[in-house]
Structure 1
Amino acid sequence: MRKILLAIVAVVLLAPAAWAQGPIGVVDMAKIIKTCEPGQKALKELQGSFSGVKDDLDKQKASIEQMRQEMQKQSLVLSQEAKMDKEMEFKRKVRDFQDALRNYQRKVKAEEERLSEPVIKTIFEVMKDFGKKNGYAMILDGRGAGLLYVDDKADVTNQIIVEVNKASRKK
């Protein structure tokens, strides 16, 4: 009885995949996002909005490195109290830099999510329409699905990029 029940459950769970009619497509979502026009536009906007902050962080990092080198050069000449003062100042600068870096990374991530949301939504809409129009049973993300081999004929990444670009121009 148990074997029959397990067989019925297996058939019910696996049957939809067996019933699927049509080919299976595979895409590289990372490539689509980086290559499509809306994705490139969002990336440029992201880079433009944080370029000044990144430059400031780079200057802070260079200042810290310069201070570290000066401390090493002066370590034999400075008194114990002066060394401790320099070390405290150095640690404060490092801590401030780390705080600023974490804050920068948090802001970049939030802005990236805000900018990528409409791009990903457009990509999914285009893939859904593309799949229906071309008779695909399913379209999978090749990297996300962990596929080890995919025939080149199944890769529809470039076709999706073209369709996403068309859809973004219409909007």
Structure 2
Amino acid sequence: MKKFGNIAAIFVLGLVFAAVSHAQAPVKIGLIDSGEFADEKTGIQKFINAVKALNTELAPRVKELTDLQTKMQALAEEIKKLENVGPGVPVNQKAILDKRDEGGRMQREFEFKKNEYDAYLEKRSNDVLGPIQADIAKAIQEFATKNGYTMIFDLDKLGPSGALLAMDPKADITKEFIVFYNARPATAAAPR
């Protein structure tokens, strides 16, 4: 009977040790709001500087589109005035048609320039921000490994989709990551 008790005790201890060795460490999940990276005061400086440089580069094209839009609005007002003359005053149909033709030409020019701008913006954003975004992604992985995070999710992507139903504010590690990233040496290529 004593042998049976010893065997049973060894068996129970074996089960306990097996359970302990198979027990998983708690899953540590963090949330980072990538929208905060561009915040002028608390964001990632390298990213902010690249966005500013890109905006400066694109400013002349944006102004050109804005000016063209303003001209189209002014032309629409002129057409309205020509059409809404007082009673008894003859309407100048030729002037109205000429203005509409000019408006159509301006609209086509605007659409062409807008499409050209959108394509240029996408290309330059990829050229300028792409290397920085890749470096940020690498740094997030480094941060996760260093701090024992099993997973890190992007609040900026989860929130609008409705996928995030509730969260403990302590899970938001955005500020800690930004401090970590800004303290790192520069590794991404400079904007071209």
Q: Could you say whether these structures have the same fold, taking a TM-score greater than 0.5 normalized by the shorter chain as the test?
A: yes
**Cα distance between partner residues in 1 of 2:100 and 2:63:** 25
Deviation at 1:97, TM superposition (A): 1.2
With over 3 angstroms needed to count, the CA separation of the structure-2 counterparts of 1:80 and 1:104, relative to structure 1, is same
Aligned counterpart for 1:24 among listed residues 22, 25, 29: 29
| 8 Å Cα contact 1:33-1:119 kept in structure 2 | no
Equivalent runs, 1:3-152 vs 2, <5 Å: 19=24, 21-34=26-39, 35-75=43-83, 76=85, 77-145=90-158, 146-152=163-169
Letter of the aligned partner of 2:105 in structure 1?
R
The answer to which structure, 1 or 2, has the higher relative contact order (CA under 8 A, 6+ apart) is: 1
With normalisation by structure 2, the TM-score equals 0.71
Count how many residue pairs are aligned between Structure 1 and Structure 2.
154
TM-score w.r.t. length of structure 1: 0.79
> Sequence identity, in percent?
26
| CA displacement 1:95-144 (0-9 Å, x = unmatched) | 11121122112211221122221121111121111111111111111243
Q: Give the direction of change, closer, same or farther, for the CA distance of 1:33–1:79 in structure 2 (3 Å limit).
A: closer
1:81 positional shift: 2.8
Question: Which one has a bigger Cα radius of gyration?
Answer: 2
TM-fit CA distance, 1:27: 0.8
User: What are the superposed Cα offsets for residues 131-165 of structure 1, whole Å, 9 maximum, x if unpaired?
Assistant: 11111111111243422212122111111111111
Q: CA deviation at 1:63?
A: 1.1
Contact 1:122 1:164 in 2 (8 A): no
Compute the RMSD of aligned alpha carbons: 2.2
1:57 & 1:48 partners in 2: Cα distance?
15
**What is the identity, as a one-letter code, of the residue corresponding to 2:133?**
I
Q: Is 1:165 aligned with 2:182?
A: yes
Query: What's the secondary structure of 2:153's corresponding residue?
Result: strand
